[in-house]
Amino acid sequence: MGTDDERMTFRVWRGDRQGGAFVDYTTSVAPGMVVLDAIHQIQAEQANDLAVRWNCKAGKCGSCSAEVNGTPKLMCMTRLSELPQDKPITVEPMRAFPPIRDLVTDVSWNFAVKKQIKPFQPRAPDAADGTWRMAQSDVDRVQEFRKCIECFLCQDVCHVLREHHLHEEFIGPRFLVHVAALEMHPLDVENRVEELRRAHGIGYCNITKCCTKVCPEHITITDNAIIPLKERVVDEFFHPLGQLVKLFRS
Ligand code: SF4
Ligand code: SF4
Ligand code: FES
């Protein structure tokens, strides 16, 4: 992509819940362009009715999630120069969720899942003035989970949702990150381990790490969130000492 008059072909999925097909659009490209720029240009010049969701164009709102050449990506953060130039670039909606139109999917299932997770419940304040004391190392541990922009690219790539459609039984990597942020929060006193095993379906995750690979915020989803949560489930439900503690609690 060295000159301003270079052209590239984009194979864009057009359709809705009833079905659809890829349509080729050829448009001019320039150095520095991202996939979202090309889609906007196609929308402006050739397909005014092409539906695409976006907001910040800075990788922070999580709205422009799609699949570019078959890989879950933020369209606004995917430079054309990263993609092979010799064949059409495919751009399609996330496949783990129902399509609404063209590149826009219905991600409302995720918001319903979030409501099922027990909210933050802090312990009583540590000081008379209503403040708490926390060790910096405990704060650092959960900090990366707070970077999530809810783009749902990790949910899209996870085979438990994408291929096995276990949306009723598994909350997916995004919400395991959310549970980890709450469970490891130094002030939180709620216990979500029982739900993790049953309602949240953590056992379905077989640690393939596909979710970690696509996260645009580089959150170490599997190693830092899911594996420690799995360890908590094992400790509480399958370790003899954990079972003894449960017996005393009941
Ligand atoms: S590591 Fe687990 S949550 Fe992540 S994609 Fe694989 S199965 Fe899904
Ligand atoms: S964990 Fe990463 S990939 Fe998943 S929703 Fe959050 S930012 Fe997106
Ligand atoms: S438009 Fe906001 S993340 Fe891409």
The 3-class secondary structure across 193-248, one letter per residue, is: HHHHHCCCCHHHCCCCCHHHHHCCCCCCHHHHHHHHHHHHHHHHHCCHHHHHHHHH
* CA–centroid distance, residue 250 to ligand 1 (Å): 33
Per-residue pLDDT band at 96 (split at 50, 70, 90)? very high
How deeply is 163 buried, as exposed, middle or buried, from its count of CB atoms within 10 A (0-12, 13-18, 19+)?
A: exposed
Rounded CA gap, 166 and 7, in Å? 41
Q: Which pairs count as long-range contacts for 74-77, CB under 8 Å and 24+ apart, including other chains? A: 74/151, 74/153, 74/216, 75/34, 75/35, 75/36, 75/39, 75/103, 76/34, 76/35, 76/36, 77/34, 77/216
Q: Ligand nearest 74 Cα, by number?
A: 3
C-alpha 28/C-alpha 37 separation (Å) is: 11
Q: How far apart are the first and last CA of the chain?
A: 66
219 touches ligand 2 (CB under 6 Å): yes
Please compute the mean of the pLDDT values over residues 208-237 and round it to a whole number: 96
Question: Given the CA of residue 57, which atom of ligand 3 is nearest to it?
Answer: 1
Q: Give me the pLDDT at residue 2, please.
A: 45
CB 149 within 8 A of CB 83: no
Please report where in the chains the tokens 């009941």 appear, as a residue: 250
pLDDT score recorded for residue 245: 57
Atom 2 of ligand 1: nearest residue by CA position: 205
Can you tell me which atom of ligand 1 is nearest the CA of 172?
3
pLDDT in the model for residue 248? 59
Kindly tell me if the per-residue pLDDT of 3 is higher than 50.
no
Q: Is 151 in the pocket of ligand 2 (CB under 6 A)?
A: yes
Q: Could you tell which of 174, 209, 214 is best to mutate to test the pocket of ligand 2, judged by most ligand atoms within 8 Å of the CB?
A: 174
Mean pLDDT, range 55-75, rounded to an integer: 98
- Token pair in block for residue 229: 């949560």
pLDDT tens digits, 107-129? 999 999 999 999 999 999 999 99
> Which atom of ligand 1 lies nearest, measured to the CA of 176?
3
Question: Residue 60 Cα, ligand 3 centroid: separation in angstroms?
Answer: 6
Buried b (16+ CB within 10 A) or exposed e, 215-241: bbbebebbebbbeebbebbeebeeeee
* Distance from Cα 209 to the centre of ligand 1, integer Å: 5
Q: Determine phi and psi for 68, rounding to 5 degrees.
A: -110, 120
Residue 76 Cβ < 6 Å to ligand 3: yes
Cα-Cα-Cα-Cα dihedral of 234, 218, 83, 53, to 10°?
Answer: 90
Residue 58 has pLDDT above 80, yes or no: yes
Q: How far apart are CA 222 and CA 218, in angstroms?
A: 11
| Percent of the residues in the chain that have a pLDDT greater than 70, as a whole number | 93
Q: pLDDT at position 12, please?
A: 98
The rounded mean pLDDT for the chain is: 94
Measured CA to CA, the distance from residue 43 to residue 52 in angstroms comes to: 9
The answer to whether the CB of 102 falls within 8 A of the CB of 50 is yes
